[in-house]
Amino acid sequence: MGLLSFVKEAGEKLFAHKDVEAAASSGAQDKLAQLNQAAADGIKNYIATQNLSAQDLQVGFDGATGVATVSGVASDQATKEKIVLCCGNVTGVASVDDQLTVEAATAEARYYTVVSGDTLSKISKSEYGDANKYPAIFEANRPMLSSPDRIYPGQVLRIPPL
């Protein structure tokens, strides 16, 4: 639980975040509320397209601060972490207020923000001391990652304990 930071300008383009920011700065509260709800719905739908779910899943978004809030009960720690990453790896989201709980607690993963020039092998070498353990990182980030070769700067990845 807590507030996790993400790169606001990196990630899936699920909503017009510039429109949300403009409404927030102009003080157009009715328009901002509509855009915030549309953004929250877009993030929640994205979570569903990744075949992730949580009991009583709720997603909110505040365009003025770029904070997505997620709550509910995930079946396990990995699902919880993947849902949080789905919320945060979205253009326009600067941080995620993680209010999710889990039914069966296990060890938490670490998080890693991809920088230019990174590969999963390079990340694996720095995190585990062995470049050949990159499949563990890839599997820990499926279905958000469709290929081990498709990561981008600013993306936040789960680094599971081995």
Same domain flag for 69 and 40: yes
Number of domains in the chain: 2
> What pLDDT does residue 104 have?
84
Where residue 144 falls among pLDDT bands split at 50, 70, 90? very high
Which percentage of the chain shows pLDDT scores above 70?
Answer: 99
Question: b/e map of 23-51 (b: 16 or more CB within 10 Å)?
Answer: bbeeeeeebbeebbebbbebbbebbeeee
Last residue of a domain, one of 104, 130, 149: 104
Same domain flag for 23 and 93: yes
Q: Is residue 89 pLDDT above 80, yes or no?
A: yes
Query: How far is 38 from 69, CA to CA, in rounded Å?
Result: 14
How would you class 160 by CB atoms within 10 Å of its CB: exposed for 0-12, middle for 13-18, buried for 19 or more? buried
Sequence-distant (≥ 6) Cβ neighbours of residue 72 within 8 angstroms: 54, 55, 56, 57, 58, 100, 101
pLDDT in tens, 25-48: 887 888 889 999 999 999 999 999
As a whole number, the mean pLDDT across the chain is 94
**How do beta strands 67-76 and 95-104 pair?**
parallel
Same domain flag for 69 and 89: yes
pTM of the model: 0.91
Query: How far is 126 from 117, CA to CA, in rounded Å?
Result: 13
> What pLDDT does residue 57 have?
98
Residues present in the chain in total:
162
Last residue of a domain, one of 69, 89, 104: 104
pLDDT in tens, 51-88: 999 999 999 999 999 999 999 999 999 999 999 999 99
The boundaries of the domain holding residue 45 are 2-104
Last residue of a domain, one of 66, 82, 104: 104
> What pLDDT does residue 1 have?
62
CATH number at residue 38: 3.30.1340.30
